A and B are shown apart, each in its own frame.
Chain A
Protein backbone atom coordinates (compact mmCIF):
# COMPACT_ATOMS: atom_id res chain seq x y z
CA UNK A 1 0.00 0.00 0.00
CA UNK A 2 1.49 3.30 -1.03
CA UNK A 3 0.09 6.80 -1.14
CA UNK A 4 -3.16 7.46 0.64
CA UNK A 5 -5.13 4.71 2.33
CA UNK A 6 -8.45 5.85 0.86
CA UNK A 7 -10.43 2.83 1.92
CA UNK A 8 -9.10 3.24 5.45
CA UNK A 9 -9.92 6.93 5.56
CA UNK A 10 -13.39 6.26 4.18
CA UNK A 11 -14.01 3.45 6.65
CA UNK A 12 -12.97 5.42 9.71
CA UNK A 13 -15.00 8.41 8.54
CA UNK A 14 -17.99 6.15 8.03
CA UNK A 15 -17.52 4.82 11.52
CA UNK A 16 -17.32 8.32 12.97
CA UNK A 17 -20.49 9.39 11.21
CA UNK A 18 -22.26 6.11 11.94
CA UNK A 19 -21.37 6.40 15.59
CA UNK A 20 -23.35 9.56 16.21
CA UNK A 21 -26.21 8.63 13.90
CA UNK A 22 -26.64 5.38 15.80
CA UNK A 23 -27.33 7.45 18.94
CA UNK A 24 -29.20 10.30 17.22
CA UNK A 25 -31.42 10.65 20.29
CA UNK A 26 -28.38 11.97 22.12
CA UNK A 27 -26.61 13.68 19.27
CA UNK A 28 -29.21 15.13 16.95
CA UNK A 29 -32.57 15.44 18.67
CA UNK A 30 -31.62 17.45 21.80
CA UNK A 31 -30.39 20.49 19.86
CA UNK A 32 -33.41 20.36 17.62
CA UNK A 33 -35.79 20.18 20.57
CA UNK A 34 -34.19 22.98 22.55
CA UNK A 35 -34.05 25.20 19.47
CA UNK A 36 -37.71 24.40 18.79
CA UNK A 37 -38.53 25.40 22.34
CA UNK A 38 -36.72 28.72 21.99
CA UNK A 39 -38.67 29.42 18.84
CA UNK A 40 -41.98 28.59 20.48
CA UNK A 41 -41.31 30.51 23.68
CA UNK A 42 -40.00 33.62 21.99
CA UNK A 43 -42.25 33.41 18.96
CA UNK A 44 -45.53 33.06 20.75
CA UNK A 45 -45.00 34.86 24.02
CA UNK A 46 -42.03 37.11 24.48
CA UNK A 47 -41.83 38.45 20.95
CA UNK A 48 -44.81 40.72 21.53
CA UNK A 49 -42.98 42.42 24.37
CA UNK A 50 -39.55 42.66 22.76
CA UNK A 51 -39.13 45.05 19.88
CA UNK A 52 -37.43 44.32 16.60
CA UNK A 53 -33.64 44.41 16.37
CA UNK A 54 -32.13 45.90 13.23
CA UNK A 55 -35.62 45.74 11.76
CA UNK A 56 -35.85 41.98 12.32
CA UNK A 57 -38.52 40.36 14.52
CA UNK A 58 -36.93 38.99 17.66
CA UNK A 59 -37.51 35.28 16.99
CA UNK A 60 -35.92 35.59 13.59
CA UNK A 61 -33.08 37.56 15.03
CA UNK A 62 -32.06 34.83 17.48
CA UNK A 63 -32.27 31.94 14.98
CA UNK A 64 -28.83 32.29 13.37
CA UNK A 65 -27.36 32.31 16.87
CA UNK A 66 -29.22 29.13 17.74
CA UNK A 67 -28.04 27.52 14.52
CA UNK A 68 -24.44 28.46 15.28
CA UNK A 69 -24.60 27.28 18.88
CA UNK A 70 -25.92 23.92 17.73
CA UNK A 71 -23.40 23.65 14.98
CA UNK A 72 -20.35 24.41 17.02
CA UNK A 73 -21.21 22.48 20.17
CA UNK A 74 -22.09 19.39 18.16
CA UNK A 75 -19.08 19.63 15.90
CA UNK A 76 -16.69 20.00 18.80
CA UNK A 77 -18.25 17.42 21.04
CA UNK A 78 -18.34 14.74 18.34
CA UNK A 79 -14.63 14.66 17.72
CA UNK A 80 -13.68 15.22 21.35
CA UNK A 81 -15.96 12.61 22.85
CA UNK A 82 -15.21 10.08 20.15
CA UNK A 83 -11.48 10.44 20.69
CA UNK A 84 -11.75 10.26 24.47
CA UNK A 85 -14.12 7.33 24.29
CA UNK A 86 -11.78 5.41 22.03
CA UNK A 87 -9.00 6.09 24.49
CA UNK A 88 -10.95 4.97 27.52
CA UNK A 89 -12.55 1.93 25.91
CA UNK A 90 -9.37 0.45 24.43
CA UNK A 91 -10.55 1.05 20.87
CA UNK A 92 -7.76 3.40 19.97
CA UNK A 93 -5.18 0.62 19.59
CA UNK A 94 -7.22 -0.80 16.72
CA UNK A 95 -6.86 2.27 14.59
CA UNK A 96 -3.37 3.25 15.74
CA UNK A 97 -1.96 -0.13 14.70
CA UNK A 98 -3.64 0.04 11.30
CA UNK A 99 -1.82 1.41 8.25
CA UNK A 100 -3.42 4.82 8.60
CA UNK A 101 -1.34 7.99 8.72
CA UNK A 102 -1.83 10.65 11.38
CA UNK A 103 -3.27 12.88 8.70
CA UNK A 104 -5.81 10.26 7.67
CA UNK A 105 -6.79 9.59 11.27
CA UNK A 106 -7.22 13.30 11.95
CA UNK A 107 -9.25 13.89 8.81
CA UNK A 108 -11.62 11.05 9.62
CA UNK A 109 -12.36 12.49 13.05
CA UNK A 110 -12.64 16.03 11.74
CA UNK A 111 -14.98 15.05 8.92
CA UNK A 112 -17.11 13.06 11.38
CA UNK A 113 -17.53 16.10 13.61
CA UNK A 114 -18.07 18.37 10.63
CA UNK A 115 -20.91 16.20 9.39
CA UNK A 116 -22.52 16.23 12.83
CA UNK A 117 -22.14 20.01 13.12
CA UNK A 118 -23.68 20.52 9.69
CA UNK A 119 -26.53 18.09 10.26
CA UNK A 120 -27.42 19.85 13.49
CA UNK A 121 -27.04 23.33 12.09
CA UNK A 122 -29.02 22.62 8.95
CA UNK A 123 -31.83 20.92 10.88
CA UNK A 124 -32.29 24.01 13.06
CA UNK A 125 -32.13 26.13 9.93
CA UNK A 126 -34.91 24.04 8.38
CA UNK A 127 -36.86 24.28 11.60
CA UNK A 128 -36.69 28.06 11.31
CA UNK A 129 -37.74 27.97 7.67
CA UNK A 130 -40.66 25.66 8.39
CA UNK A 131 -41.91 27.15 11.67
CA UNK A 132 -41.48 30.85 11.16
CA UNK A 133 -40.84 31.24 7.46
CA UNK A 134 -37.30 32.37 8.01
CA UNK A 135 -35.91 33.83 4.79
CA UNK A 136 -32.40 32.75 3.84
CA UNK A 137 -30.72 35.61 2.04
CA UNK A 138 -27.60 33.86 0.84
CA UNK A 139 -28.29 30.12 0.90
CA UNK A 140 -24.93 29.00 -0.48
CA UNK A 141 -22.96 31.32 1.75
CA UNK A 142 -25.03 30.07 4.67
CA UNK A 143 -24.17 26.44 3.94
CA UNK A 144 -20.57 27.34 3.28
CA UNK A 145 -20.30 29.21 6.54
CA UNK A 146 -21.92 26.42 8.53
CA UNK A 147 -19.42 24.04 6.93
CA UNK A 148 -16.45 26.22 7.80
CA UNK A 149 -17.51 26.68 11.41
CA UNK A 150 -18.25 22.96 11.75
CA UNK A 151 -14.79 22.12 10.48
CA UNK A 152 -13.12 24.64 12.78
CA UNK A 153 -14.88 23.42 15.90
CA UNK A 154 -14.60 19.77 14.95
CA UNK A 155 -10.82 20.23 14.73
CA UNK A 156 -10.91 21.98 18.07
CA UNK A 157 -12.82 18.99 19.42
CA UNK A 158 -10.18 16.63 18.11
CA UNK A 159 -7.51 18.70 19.78
CA UNK A 160 -9.38 18.69 23.11
CA UNK A 161 -10.21 15.00 22.83
CA UNK A 162 -6.54 14.17 22.51
CA UNK A 163 -5.59 16.40 25.42
CA UNK A 164 -8.34 15.24 27.77
CA UNK A 165 -7.95 12.30 30.10
CA UNK A 166 -11.45 12.30 31.54
CA UNK A 167 -15.04 13.21 30.75
CA UNK A 168 -14.83 15.78 33.47
CA UNK A 169 -12.28 17.81 31.57
CA UNK A 170 -14.37 17.75 28.41
CA UNK A 171 -17.51 18.77 30.27
CA UNK A 172 -15.56 21.62 31.81
CA UNK A 173 -14.54 22.94 28.41
CA UNK A 174 -18.12 22.78 27.27
CA UNK A 175 -19.68 24.34 30.36
CA UNK A 176 -17.10 26.96 31.21
CA UNK A 177 -16.05 28.05 27.74
CA UNK A 178 -18.17 27.05 24.79
CA UNK A 179 -21.62 27.62 26.25
CA UNK A 180 -20.86 30.94 28.00
CA UNK A 181 -18.98 32.25 24.97
CA UNK A 182 -21.93 31.29 22.76
CA UNK A 183 -24.41 33.09 24.96
CA UNK A 184 -22.14 36.10 25.26
CA UNK A 185 -21.52 36.04 21.53
CA UNK A 186 -24.83 37.70 20.88
CA UNK A 187 -27.31 34.91 20.28
CA UNK A 188 -30.03 36.87 22.02
CA UNK A 189 -28.96 40.45 21.44
CA UNK A 190 -27.13 42.78 19.15
CA UNK A 191 -23.93 43.92 20.78
CA UNK A 192 -24.92 47.42 19.86
CA UNK A 193 -27.36 47.15 22.77
CA UNK A 194 -24.47 46.65 25.20
CA UNK A 195 -22.48 49.30 27.06
CA UNK A 196 -19.22 50.28 25.39
CA UNK A 197 -16.93 48.15 27.53
CA UNK A 198 -19.03 45.05 26.93
CA UNK A 199 -19.01 45.70 23.18
CA UNK A 200 -15.22 45.84 23.25
CA UNK A 201 -15.13 42.62 25.21
CA UNK A 202 -17.44 40.90 22.74
CA UNK A 203 -14.98 41.65 19.96
CA UNK A 204 -12.43 39.23 21.44
CA UNK A 205 -14.97 36.44 21.62
CA UNK A 206 -14.47 34.32 18.48
CA UNK A 207 -17.97 32.91 18.71
CA UNK A 208 -19.35 36.41 18.35
CA UNK A 209 -17.96 36.42 14.81
CA UNK A 210 -19.48 33.05 14.03
CA UNK A 211 -22.93 34.21 15.05
CA UNK A 212 -22.54 37.56 13.42
CA UNK A 213 -21.39 35.99 10.18
CA UNK A 214 -24.29 33.60 9.95
CA UNK A 215 -26.74 36.32 10.85
CA UNK A 216 -25.49 38.13 7.80
CA UNK A 217 -25.79 35.18 5.41
CA UNK A 218 -29.26 34.29 6.69
CA UNK A 219 -30.88 37.63 7.53
CA UNK A 220 -28.68 40.13 5.77
CA UNK A 221 -28.05 42.11 8.98
CA UNK A 222 -24.84 42.36 10.98
CA UNK A 223 -23.05 44.17 13.79
CA UNK A 224 -19.59 44.09 12.32
CA UNK A 225 -18.27 43.34 8.87
CA UNK A 226 -19.15 39.88 7.46
CA UNK A 227 -15.68 39.73 5.99
CA UNK A 228 -14.23 39.83 9.50
CA UNK A 229 -16.48 36.95 10.47
CA UNK A 230 -15.35 34.93 7.49
CA UNK A 231 -11.70 35.66 8.19
CA UNK A 232 -12.12 34.69 11.83
CA UNK A 233 -13.77 31.40 10.85
CA UNK A 234 -11.02 30.72 8.35
CA UNK A 235 -8.35 31.57 10.91
CA UNK A 236 -9.86 29.21 13.49
CA UNK A 237 -10.19 26.48 10.89
CA UNK A 238 -6.55 26.70 9.94
CA UNK A 239 -5.34 27.07 13.51
CA UNK A 240 -7.25 24.16 15.00
CA UNK A 241 -6.81 21.84 12.03
CA UNK A 242 -3.07 22.35 12.09
CA UNK A 243 -2.84 21.99 15.87
CA UNK A 244 -4.97 18.85 15.95
CA UNK A 245 -3.02 17.17 13.16
CA UNK A 246 0.36 18.12 14.60
CA UNK A 247 -0.59 16.77 18.01
CA UNK A 248 -1.79 13.57 16.39
CA UNK A 249 1.46 13.27 14.44
CA UNK A 250 3.55 13.77 17.56
CA UNK A 251 1.53 11.06 19.30
CA UNK A 252 2.17 12.88 22.57
CA UNK A 253 -1.21 12.32 24.15
CA UNK A 254 -2.28 9.10 22.49
CA UNK A 255 0.94 7.09 22.37
CA UNK A 256 3.36 6.69 25.23
Chain B
Protein backbone atom coordinates (compact mmCIF):
# COMPACT_ATOMS: atom_id res chain seq x y z
CA UNK B 1 0.00 0.00 0.00
CA UNK B 2 1.33 3.39 -0.93
CA UNK B 3 -0.82 5.52 1.32
CA UNK B 4 1.05 6.17 4.55
CA UNK B 5 -0.37 4.56 7.67
CA UNK B 6 -0.06 7.81 9.57
CA UNK B 7 0.18 11.25 8.08
CA UNK B 8 0.41 14.35 10.26
CA UNK B 9 1.18 17.77 8.92
CA UNK B 10 1.33 21.19 10.54
CA UNK B 11 -0.29 19.97 13.72
CA UNK B 12 -0.86 22.62 16.38
CA UNK B 13 -2.31 22.25 19.82
CA UNK B 14 -2.58 24.61 22.77
CA UNK B 15 -3.96 23.70 26.14
CA UNK B 16 -5.31 26.53 28.26
CA UNK B 17 -1.93 27.99 29.08
CA UNK B 18 0.61 25.83 27.27
CA UNK B 19 1.46 25.46 23.63
CA UNK B 20 1.98 21.73 23.41
CA UNK B 21 2.45 21.26 19.65
CA UNK B 22 3.87 23.84 17.28
CA UNK B 23 3.57 22.31 13.82
CA UNK B 24 4.30 18.62 14.05
CA UNK B 25 4.96 16.88 10.72
CA UNK B 26 5.12 13.13 10.84
CA UNK B 27 4.62 10.40 8.28
CA UNK B 28 4.75 6.71 9.04
CA UNK B 29 4.77 4.23 6.19
CA UNK B 30 2.59 1.17 6.25
CA UNK B 31 4.47 -1.54 8.10
CA UNK B 32 7.09 0.78 9.55
CA UNK B 33 8.36 0.67 13.12
CA UNK B 34 8.58 4.33 14.17
CA UNK B 35 9.93 5.68 17.43
CA UNK B 36 9.06 9.07 18.83
CA UNK B 37 11.74 10.23 21.22
CA UNK B 38 11.60 13.33 23.32
CA UNK B 39 12.08 14.72 26.81
CA UNK B 40 9.22 15.08 29.29
CA UNK B 41 6.56 17.44 28.05
CA UNK B 42 7.80 17.43 24.44
CA UNK B 43 4.36 16.62 23.08
CA UNK B 44 4.51 12.87 22.40
CA UNK B 45 1.37 11.95 24.27
CA UNK B 46 -0.50 14.94 22.92
CA UNK B 47 0.31 13.91 19.35
CA UNK B 48 -0.90 10.38 19.99
CA UNK B 49 -4.02 11.55 21.75
CA UNK B 50 -4.99 13.77 18.86
CA UNK B 51 -4.47 10.90 16.46
CA UNK B 52 -6.81 8.67 18.45
CA UNK B 53 -9.51 11.26 19.10
CA UNK B 54 -8.83 11.84 22.79
CA UNK B 55 -7.69 15.40 22.40
CA UNK B 56 -9.02 17.95 19.92
CA UNK B 57 -6.47 19.59 17.65
CA UNK B 58 -6.33 23.31 16.88
CA UNK B 59 -5.13 22.95 13.33
CA UNK B 60 -3.29 20.60 11.01
CA UNK B 61 -3.82 17.51 8.94
CA UNK B 62 -4.19 14.19 10.69
CA UNK B 63 -4.84 11.15 8.53
CA UNK B 64 -4.78 7.40 8.94
CA UNK B 65 -4.41 5.55 5.64
CA UNK B 66 -5.42 8.74 3.89
CA UNK B 67 -8.64 9.22 5.87
CA UNK B 68 -9.31 12.14 8.17
CA UNK B 69 -9.43 11.15 11.83
CA UNK B 70 -12.48 13.26 12.56
CA UNK B 71 -14.58 12.81 9.42
CA UNK B 72 -13.82 9.11 9.09
CA UNK B 73 -13.37 8.35 12.75
CA UNK B 74 -15.02 4.94 12.52
CA UNK B 75 -12.53 3.81 9.92
CA UNK B 76 -9.44 5.47 11.41
CA UNK B 77 -10.08 4.37 14.97
CA UNK B 78 -10.72 0.80 13.86
CA UNK B 79 -7.23 0.72 12.34
CA UNK B 80 -5.55 1.74 15.57
CA UNK B 81 -4.88 -0.12 18.77
CA UNK B 82 -3.44 2.00 21.53
CA UNK B 83 -1.74 1.30 24.83
CA UNK B 84 -1.91 4.48 26.85
CA UNK B 85 0.85 5.81 29.04
CA UNK B 86 -1.48 6.08 32.03
CA UNK B 87 -2.64 2.79 33.47
CA UNK B 88 -6.36 2.43 34.06
CA UNK B 89 -7.96 1.25 37.28
CA UNK B 90 -11.07 -0.87 37.40
CA UNK B 91 -12.56 -2.85 40.23
CA UNK B 92 -15.84 -3.92 38.72
CA UNK B 93 -14.84 -6.46 36.12
CA UNK B 94 -12.33 -9.28 35.72
CA UNK B 95 -9.52 -8.75 33.24
CA UNK B 96 -10.88 -11.21 30.70
CA UNK B 97 -14.24 -9.46 30.70
CA UNK B 98 -12.54 -6.10 30.12
CA UNK B 99 -10.87 -7.52 27.02
CA UNK B 100 -14.21 -8.72 25.68
CA UNK B 101 -15.72 -5.31 26.38
CA UNK B 102 -12.89 -3.71 24.49
CA UNK B 103 -13.38 -5.97 21.50
CA UNK B 104 -17.08 -5.13 21.66
CA UNK B 105 -16.41 -1.39 21.41
CA UNK B 106 -14.72 -2.19 18.10
CA UNK B 107 -17.77 -4.07 16.90
CA UNK B 108 -16.50 -7.57 17.61
CA UNK B 109 -18.90 -9.89 19.40
CA UNK B 110 -17.75 -11.96 22.35
CA UNK B 111 -18.01 -15.13 20.33
CA UNK B 112 -15.84 -13.81 17.54
CA UNK B 113 -13.33 -12.31 19.95
CA UNK B 114 -12.83 -15.49 21.96
CA UNK B 115 -9.94 -17.09 20.04
CA UNK B 116 -8.13 -13.77 19.90
CA UNK B 117 -8.57 -13.10 23.62
CA UNK B 118 -7.37 -16.61 24.47
CA UNK B 119 -4.33 -16.21 22.24
CA UNK B 120 -3.40 -12.86 23.78
CA UNK B 121 -3.86 -14.07 27.35
CA UNK B 122 -1.59 -16.99 26.54
CA UNK B 123 1.01 -15.01 24.63
CA UNK B 124 1.26 -12.25 27.24
CA UNK B 125 1.30 -14.60 30.20
CA UNK B 126 -1.96 -13.41 31.67
CA UNK B 127 -3.81 -16.69 31.55
CA UNK B 128 -3.96 -17.32 35.25
CA UNK B 129 -4.94 -13.70 35.86
CA UNK B 130 -8.04 -13.83 33.70
CA UNK B 131 -10.42 -13.50 36.62
CA UNK B 132 -8.35 -10.91 38.51
CA UNK B 133 -9.34 -7.29 38.77
CA UNK B 134 -6.90 -4.70 37.44
CA UNK B 135 -6.09 -3.40 40.90
CA UNK B 136 -4.85 -6.87 41.83
CA UNK B 137 -2.21 -6.84 39.09
CA UNK B 138 1.38 -5.69 39.36
CA UNK B 139 2.56 -2.77 37.25
CA UNK B 140 4.18 -5.10 34.72
CA UNK B 141 1.02 -7.17 34.40
CA UNK B 142 -1.01 -4.02 33.87
CA UNK B 143 1.33 -3.02 31.04
CA UNK B 144 0.81 -6.43 29.47
CA UNK B 145 -2.92 -6.07 29.86
CA UNK B 146 -2.67 -2.70 28.11
CA UNK B 147 -0.92 -4.36 25.22
CA UNK B 148 -3.47 -7.18 25.05
CA UNK B 149 -6.24 -4.60 25.02
CA UNK B 150 -4.56 -2.66 22.22
CA UNK B 151 -4.30 -5.82 20.14
CA UNK B 152 -7.66 -7.40 20.83
CA UNK B 153 -9.30 -6.10 17.65
CA UNK B 154 -6.22 -6.96 15.58
CA UNK B 155 -5.52 -3.41 14.39
CA UNK B 156 -3.13 -2.61 11.57
CA UNK B 157 -1.51 0.19 13.52
CA UNK B 158 -0.26 -0.25 17.05
CA UNK B 159 0.44 2.87 19.12
CA UNK B 160 2.39 2.40 22.31
CA UNK B 161 2.92 5.31 24.67
CA UNK B 162 5.89 4.30 26.81
CA UNK B 163 4.99 0.63 26.91
CA UNK B 164 7.99 -0.41 28.96
CA UNK B 165 7.90 2.29 31.64
CA UNK B 166 8.34 0.72 35.04
CA UNK B 167 9.01 -2.77 33.74
CA UNK B 168 11.87 -5.01 34.82
CA UNK B 169 14.67 -5.91 32.42
CA UNK B 170 13.52 -9.44 31.72
CA UNK B 171 9.98 -8.49 30.88
CA UNK B 172 11.21 -5.59 28.80
CA UNK B 173 13.21 -7.99 26.62
CA UNK B 174 10.21 -10.28 26.30
CA UNK B 175 8.08 -7.37 25.20
CA UNK B 176 10.69 -6.26 22.71
CA UNK B 177 10.69 -9.74 21.19
CA UNK B 178 6.94 -9.63 20.97
CA UNK B 179 6.95 -6.21 19.33
CA UNK B 180 9.52 -7.39 16.80
CA UNK B 181 7.32 -10.35 16.02
CA UNK B 182 4.28 -8.12 15.56
CA UNK B 183 6.26 -5.88 13.28
CA UNK B 184 7.47 -8.84 11.22
CA UNK B 185 3.88 -9.90 10.82
CA UNK B 186 3.19 -6.57 9.20
CA UNK B 187 1.95 -4.28 11.95
CA UNK B 188 2.78 -0.62 11.73
CA UNK B 189 4.06 0.47 15.13
CA UNK B 190 4.40 3.93 16.66
CA UNK B 191 6.25 3.86 19.92
CA UNK B 192 7.23 6.59 22.34
CA UNK B 193 9.90 5.88 24.85
CA UNK B 194 12.39 7.29 27.27
CA UNK B 195 14.75 4.38 26.69
CA UNK B 196 16.96 5.31 23.79
CA UNK B 197 18.22 1.77 23.69
CA UNK B 198 14.67 0.69 22.98
CA UNK B 199 14.36 2.99 20.00
CA UNK B 200 17.80 2.06 18.73
CA UNK B 201 17.03 -1.65 18.92
CA UNK B 202 13.52 -1.70 17.57
CA UNK B 203 12.78 1.25 15.36
CA UNK B 204 13.45 1.60 11.66
CA UNK B 205 12.90 5.30 11.89
CA UNK B 206 13.18 7.66 14.80
CA UNK B 207 11.76 11.14 15.20
CA UNK B 208 13.13 13.42 17.86
CA UNK B 209 10.53 15.78 19.22
CA UNK B 210 11.22 18.75 21.44
CA UNK B 211 9.01 21.64 22.49
CA UNK B 212 6.19 20.52 20.24
CA UNK B 213 8.18 20.10 17.03
CA UNK B 214 9.94 17.21 15.33
CA UNK B 215 13.48 18.49 15.10
CA UNK B 216 15.15 15.50 13.45
CA UNK B 217 14.18 12.29 11.75
CA UNK B 218 16.02 9.31 10.38
CA UNK B 219 17.09 5.76 11.01
CA UNK B 220 18.99 5.34 14.29
CA UNK B 221 22.14 4.49 12.33
CA UNK B 222 21.86 7.54 10.06
CA UNK B 223 21.21 9.84 12.96
CA UNK B 224 24.20 8.67 14.94
CA UNK B 225 26.42 8.87 11.90
CA UNK B 226 25.23 12.31 10.96
CA UNK B 227 24.94 13.94 14.32
CA UNK B 228 26.80 11.82 16.78
CA UNK B 229 30.32 12.56 17.83
CA UNK B 230 32.42 9.46 17.81
CA UNK B 231 36.03 9.47 18.83
CA UNK B 232 39.39 7.76 18.39
CA UNK B 233 41.88 7.70 21.23
CA UNK B 234 45.53 7.05 20.47
CA UNK B 235 48.29 6.78 23.04
CA UNK B 236 51.59 7.80 21.44
CA UNK B 237 55.10 8.94 22.02
CA UNK B 238 57.07 11.11 19.57
CA UNK B 239 54.65 13.94 18.78
CA UNK B 240 56.27 16.60 16.56
CA UNK B 241 55.29 19.83 14.88
CA UNK B 242 55.09 18.27 11.42
CA UNK B 243 52.11 16.34 12.67
CA UNK B 244 50.31 19.59 13.36
CA UNK B 245 50.29 20.24 9.64
CA UNK B 246 49.42 16.72 8.75
CA UNK B 247 46.40 16.81 11.03
CA UNK B 248 45.28 20.31 10.16
CA UNK B 249 42.04 18.94 8.72
CA UNK B 250 41.20 16.92 11.80
CA UNK B 251 39.56 17.94 15.00
CA UNK B 252 41.68 16.63 17.86
CA UNK B 253 43.15 17.34 21.28
CA UNK B 254 46.47 16.32 22.75
CA UNK B 255 47.07 15.81 26.42
CA UNK B 256 49.78 13.75 28.13
CA UNK B 257 50.64 11.92 24.91
CA UNK B 258 47.01 11.02 24.49
CA UNK B 259 45.47 12.09 21.21
CA UNK B 260 41.75 12.33 20.95
CA UNK B 261 40.13 12.70 17.53
CA UNK B 262 36.54 13.70 17.17
CA UNK B 263 35.18 12.04 14.05
CA UNK B 264 31.91 10.96 12.52
CA UNK B 265 32.76 7.42 11.63
CA UNK B 266 35.75 5.99 13.46
CA UNK B 267 36.07 2.92 11.24
CA UNK B 268 36.41 5.06 8.19
CA UNK B 269 39.25 7.31 9.34
CA UNK B 270 41.11 5.13 11.81
CA UNK B 271 43.41 3.66 9.14
CA UNK B 272 44.48 7.02 7.78
CA UNK B 273 45.17 8.43 11.25
CA UNK B 274 47.40 5.48 12.09
CA UNK B 275 49.11 5.81 8.74
CA UNK B 276 49.94 9.50 9.26
CA UNK B 277 51.21 8.86 12.78
CA UNK B 278 53.56 6.06 11.74
CA UNK B 279 54.74 7.96 8.64
CA UNK B 280 55.92 10.72 10.97
CA UNK B 281 57.76 8.34 13.22
CA UNK B 282 55.36 8.24 16.09
CA UNK B 283 55.17 5.23 18.32
CA UNK B 284 51.65 4.00 18.84
CA UNK B 285 50.97 2.27 22.15
CA UNK B 286 47.26 1.78 21.99
CA UNK B 287 44.25 2.70 19.92
CA UNK B 288 40.66 2.69 20.96
CA UNK B 289 37.45 3.98 19.48
CA UNK B 290 34.36 5.33 21.10
CA UNK B 291 31.13 5.24 19.21
CA UNK B 292 28.45 7.74 19.82
CA UNK B 293 24.98 6.53 20.55
CA UNK B 294 21.56 7.83 19.79
CA UNK B 295 21.67 9.13 23.32
CA UNK B 296 24.45 11.56 22.41
CA UNK B 297 22.52 12.65 19.35
CA UNK B 298 19.56 13.28 21.54
CA UNK B 299 21.62 15.26 24.02
CA UNK B 300 23.12 17.31 21.24
CA UNK B 301 19.78 18.18 19.75
CA UNK B 302 17.67 18.86 22.78
CA UNK B 303 20.34 19.95 25.21
CA UNK B 304 18.96 17.64 27.84
CA UNK B 305 18.98 14.02 28.86
CA UNK B 306 15.95 12.03 27.99
CA UNK B 307 15.08 11.11 31.53
A interface list, Cβ under 8 A from B:
1-2, 5-8, 10-12, 14-15, 18-19, 22-23, 89-91, 93-101, 251, 255-256
Contacts and interface: CB of A to CB of B under 8 A. Distances in A.
B88 A89 contact: yes
A92 B123 CA distance: 26
Contacts of B77: 97-99
B54 A89 contact: no
Interface string B77-91: 110101010111110
B102 interface: yes
B104 A7 contact: yes
B55 A98 contact: no
A91 to B, nearest CB: 5
Contacts of B108: 7
Contact of B74 (A5, A15, A94, A255): A5
Contacts of B100: 11
A1 B56 CA distance: 23
B106 A8 contact: yes
23 contacts: A5-B107, A6-B107, A7-B107, A7-B108, A7-B109, A8-B104, A12-B104, A15-B93, A15-B101, A19-B93, A22-B93, A93-B54, A94-B105, A97-B52, A97-B82, A99-B74, A99-B75, A99-B105, A99-B106, A255-B53, A255-B54, A256-B55, A256-B56
Given A8-B106, A90-B84, A90-B89, 7 more contacts: A1-B107, A15-B93, A91-B90, A97-B52, A255-B53, A255-B55, A255-B56
A199 B218 CA distance: 76
Contact of A8 (B52, B93, B105): B105
A90 B74 contact: no
Contacts of B105: 5, 8, 11-12, 94-95, 98-100
A91 B74 contact: no
Contacts of A98: 77, 102, 105-106
A23 B92 contact: yes
B193 to A, nearest CB: 19
Contacts of B104: 7-8, 10-12, 14
Interface in B97-145: 100-102, 104-109
B73 interface: yes
A5 B103 CA distance: 12
A12 to B, nearest CB: 7
Contacts of B87: 90
Contacts of A1: 74-75, 78, 107
B15 interface: yes
B54 A96 contact: yes
Chain B contact residues (Cβ within 8 angstroms of A): what range?
20 to 34
What 5 A-B pairs are tightest by C-beta distance, nearest first?
A11-B104, A98-B105, A97-B52, A99-B77, A90-B88
A208 to B, nearest CB: 35
Secondary structure at the B interface, as helix, strand, loop or mixed, is loop
A95 B149 CA distance: 12
Nearest to A104: B105
A174 B80 CA distance: 39
B182 to A, nearest CB: 19
A22 B97 CA distance: 13
B88 A97 contact: no
A251 B73 CA distance: 14
Contacts of A8: 104-107
Interface in B201-219: none
Nearest to B109: A7
Given A1-B74, A256-B15, A93 B106 contact: no
A105 to B, nearest CB: 10
A256 B82 CA distance: 18
Contacts of B92: 18-19, 22-23
B54 A99 contact: no
A18 B149 CA distance: 20
B88 A2 contact: no
Contacts of B84: 90, 93
Nearest to B86: A90
Contacts of B101: 11-12, 14-15
Contacts of A5: 74, 105, 107
Contacts of A95: 105
A108 to B, nearest CB: 10
A89 B93 CA distance: 14
Interface string B20-64: 000000000000000000000000000000001111100000000
